[in-house]
Amino acid sequence: MTANLLLLLTAAIWGFGFVAQVLGMNYLQPFAFIGARFLLGALSLLPVIWFLSRRSEAAPAERAYLLFGSCVLGTLLFVASSLQQVGLLYTTASNAGFITGMYMIFVPLLGLMLGMATNWITWIGCLVAALGLYLLGVDDQYQMGKGDLLQLAGASIWALHILAIDHFTKRAPGLQLACGQFVVCAVLGIVVSATVAGESTTVARLLDAGPTLVYAGIITVGVAYTLQVVAQAHANPVHAGIILSLEAVFGAIGGYLILDEMLDSRQLIGCAAMLAGMILSQLAGQATKSEAV
């Protein structure tokens, strides 16, 4: 019960993070926000890493693998975050939360392409989620908005990111790998902001964006990630996946309470269908593991 409550708190923190991302762009442009956010997130993990690593030191080979994994994961994280952050310029926090949650559907599909086992529940979950996505994002002209398309593209990269995490954490410490990827993502965000995107960032704007950066960086990254790691060590993995999928629901709640975002009945049905598809994808994962045993 304690682990599940911690996971629910994590989902709530992540869901309201979409609101912080929207509000943050009142002061900072997308790539500057990404750079500042993940730099704060990396810094917030340093005390935890120092505390856990006092008794052991990584071998040179492990450090090299850690650096390589951090670069790969950080690049994927930057691409996914960029699609999400830019997409929020054109869509709502509610839509972003639910469409981003589609990564739970993409993970088993991409896993299937990599030779991982799946089953019929996965395909049902995909169909239900696809129907929900249609109801949520496709308008009467049978078109999906630019922001929703960017969120959908981002969801596919989030799925690749999760599969990459599963690969690299088998040989490198998870918390250090997380911090490393945040540093790489932050550096990429700052460089792109200053060069390719040509964004103008001032100290005054950073200070104005301070509260949203603290929440989006320290709370959603440092605190929530730590809660997830602690909770998942004692939680049923399927229960954990289902609870964390409620991130989308909390995103919609935050959008309604703080940003005055409204969903019509068609979109609400779409959100419900997408959530059902996400939950089915978690059940499919458990069924596949049971068959393997």
pLDDT, one tens digit per residue, over 249-292 is: 888 888 889 999 888 888 888 888 888 887 777 676 555 554 44
Residue of 162, 205, 215, 226 lying closest to 37 (CA atoms): 215
pLDDT of residue 219: 94
Can you tell me the distance from the alpha carbon of 140 to that of 144, in angstroms, rounded to the nearest whole number?
Answer: 10
Residue 244 pLDDT class (50, 70, 90 cuts): confident
Can you give the chain as a three-state secondary structure string? CHHHHHHHHHHHHHHHHHHHHHHHCCCCCHHHHHHHHHHHHHHHHHHHHHHHCCCCCCCHHHHHHHHHHHHHHHHHHHHHHHHHHHHCCCCCHHHHHHHHCCHHHHHHHHHHHCCCCCCHHHHHHHHHHHHHHHHHHECCCCCECHHHHHHHHHHHHHHHHHHHHHHHCCCCCHHHHHHHHHHHHHHHHHHHHHCCCCCCCCHHHHHHCHHHHHHHHHHHHHHHHHHHHHHHCCCCHHHHHHHHCCHHHHHHHHHHHHHCCCCCHHHHHHHHHHHHHHHHHHHHHHHHHHHHC
Q: Which of 49-58, 74-83, 163-172, 201-210 has the lowest mean pLDDT?
A: 49-58
pLDDT above 70 covers what percent of the chain? 86
pLDDT of residue 57: 61
pLDDT, one tens digit per residue, over 108-166 is: 777 777 666 666 777 787 788 788 877 777 766 656 789 999 999 999 999 898 888 88
Question: Is pLDDT of 13 > 90?
Answer: yes
Residue 20 pLDDT class (50, 70, 90 cuts): very high
Residue of 70, 55, 82, 22 lying closest to 168 (CA atoms): 70
pLDDT of residue 198: 86
Residue, of 90 and 122, whose pLDDT is higher: 90
Q: Please list the residues that pair with 144 across neighbouring strands.
A: 138
pLDDT above 90 covers what percent of the chain? 36
pLDDT of residue 293: 41
Q: What's the domain range around 68?
A: 2-292
Question: Is pLDDT of 25 > 80?
Answer: yes
Question: Is pLDDT of 24 > 90?
Answer: yes
Whether residue 46 contacts residue 280, with contact meaning beta carbons closer than 8 Å, is answered with: no
Question: Is pLDDT of 196 > 70?
Answer: yes
Backbone CA torsion sign across 273, 254, 256, 155: negative
Per the structure, the count of domains in the chain is: 1
Question: Is pLDDT of 17 > 90?
Answer: yes
pLDDT, one tens digit per residue, over 33-59 is: 999 999 999 999 888 788 777 656 655
